[in-house]
Amino acid sequence: MKKGTKKLTLKDVAERLEVSTATISNAFNRPDQLSASLRDNILSECEKMGYFGPNAAARSLRTGRTGIVGIVLSDGLSYSLTDPVANQFLKGMAEVFDSNAYNMLLLSSDEIEQDAQSRMQSSMVDGFIVYGHKPQQCQNAPWLMPHKNIITVDSFIPGTTSVNVENHRGAYIIASHALAHKPKAVAILGLSLVDTDRVCRIREDEMFDRAASISIQRLHGYFEALKEHNLSVPSECIWNIPENNHRLAYQAAREALTMASRPQLLLCMSDCIAIAAVQAALQMGLRVPEDLQVVGFDGIAESENFHPSITTMHQQTVEKGRVAAEVFLGLREAKDILLETELVVRESCPSV
């Protein structure tokens, strides 16, 4: 288009091609509504005229909707895309949004601050799905602004609709199963229990608020089962692992298994942690489950394929993503949803 030439509008193009504005719009945005030949012809003619589609900003102003949902991830993008639980959650959401012509804008809460960029991002989306929000992250976060559709997942933010799994009950059930072996000593390998980037043991006064953290809910589920078995786990036997990865989990497991009073049971808050713990035990010459029982949480595919296979609490990770997307789009009632978990007994901690 030459400088000074009036920019073509959707109406201008429709008049020149002698079709409706809806037909032009469908050619760019809803190709399934047109025959392949008609669409190809329209796109070819539009390219010759220098017209490259309806103005998204103008469409947003008319409808009040952008067709984009912001997905706020509590961890970095590279981690979230490779973590098996987060990956499956994203997959479930993508299935629903794809079928409803919605796009996802992935955002890391680690990188978002209340500045011009974050305000711009907020204006680009119809709302946010906040995954794994941690209490210390962005108290004045742009996704908490009023008049936005907000769904929280694996977390709780007052005033928002939440989608969670039965973390407390699931942890209680799997701990009860493991404690039937009557271990003399127990250690807990926790995930993001305190606000630190180090592998360390915890102090009670450091831990996140129970209502805001799924990890604390799992911890209290363990505590409930331990109490019923007349056992307790002192704080020096509870490890914080800041990120759900093998290296950090392996470090925590080695520390736990080299204690003077070595545990016979490791309660792990994820399958990734449990797999690393079993590997550490085997390298130290311990037998699993004869010398050490290990349980996880999540039900990722690796927990079944690993040997010895991991006893775990299976959560509906893909379904959780689908449900969150459906609530966001109004395909489900906007109310708090709690998805069931299921005990899966395998080699690392068999039934008594």
The residue that leads in pLDDT, 154 or 208, is 154
- pLDDT the model gives residue 297: 98
The residue that leads in pLDDT, 193 or 120, is 193
The residue that leads in pLDDT, 159 or 335, is 335
Domain end point (choices 165, 189, 210): 165
Answer yes or no: is pLDDT of 221 > 50: yes
Mean pLDDT of the chain: 86
Structure letter (DSSP) for residue 41:
H
Q: What angle do CA 82, 85, 90 make, to 5 degrees?
A: 75
Identify whether residues 230 and 288 lie together within a single domain: yes
Residue 102 lies in a domain: yes
Residue 4 lies in a domain: no
Identify whether residues 188 and 311 lie together within a single domain: yes
H/E segment holding residue 61: helix 56-63
What is the mean pLDDT of the segment spanning 273-291? 98
Answer yes or no: is pLDDT of 4 > 50: no
Distances (CA, A) of 83 to 88, 243, 284, 304, 312: 9, 10, 27, 16, 17
The residue that leads in pLDDT, 69 or 132, is 69
Identify whether residues 172 and 276 lie together within a single domain: yes
Coil vs helix vs strand at 123:
helix
Answer yes or no: is pLDDT of 174 > 50: yes
> What's the longest Cα–Cα distance across the chain?
84
Structure letter (DSSP) for residue 57:
H
Residue 23 lies in a domain: yes
Q: Identify the domain containing residue 195 by its residue range.
A: 167-315+340-344
Q: What is the pTM of this model?
A: 0.79
What is the mean pLDDT of the segment spanning 69-98? 91
Specify the CATH number for the domain of residue 119: 3.40.50.2300
pLDDT digits (tens, 9 = 90+) for 227-275: 999 999 999 999 999 999 999 999 999 999 999 999 999 999 999 999 9
Per-residue confidence band for 120, with pLDDT thresholds at 50, 70 and 90: very low
Q: What crossing angle do the helices spanning 10-17 and 21-29 adopt, rounded to 10°?
A: 110
Partner residues linked to 186 by β-bridges = 265
Domain count, the chain: 3
Answer yes or no: is pLDDT of 314 > 90: yes
Nearest to 118 by CA among 59, 72, 161, 57: 72
Identify whether residues 197 and 152 lie together within a single domain: no
H/E segment holding residue 153: strand 149-153
Identify whether residues 136 and 174 lie together within a single domain: no
Residue 292 lies in a domain: yes
Identify whether residues 157 and 228 lie together within a single domain: no
Distances (CA, A) of 61 to 6, 67, 87, 117, 330: 21, 12, 33, 20, 21
Answer yes or no: is pLDDT of 293 > 50: yes
Identify whether residues 30 and 89 lie together within a single domain: no
Region label for 106, one of left (φ > 0), alpha (ψ between -120 and 50) or beta (otherwise): beta
Give the lowest-confidence range in 10-19, 91-100, 249-258, 273-282. Answer: 10-19
- pLDDT the model gives residue 3: 41
- pLDDT the model gives residue 328: 94
What is the mean pLDDT of the segment spanning 15-38? 84
The residue that leads in pLDDT, 10 or 296, is 296
Q: Are 263 and 187 in contact (CB under 8 A)?
A: yes
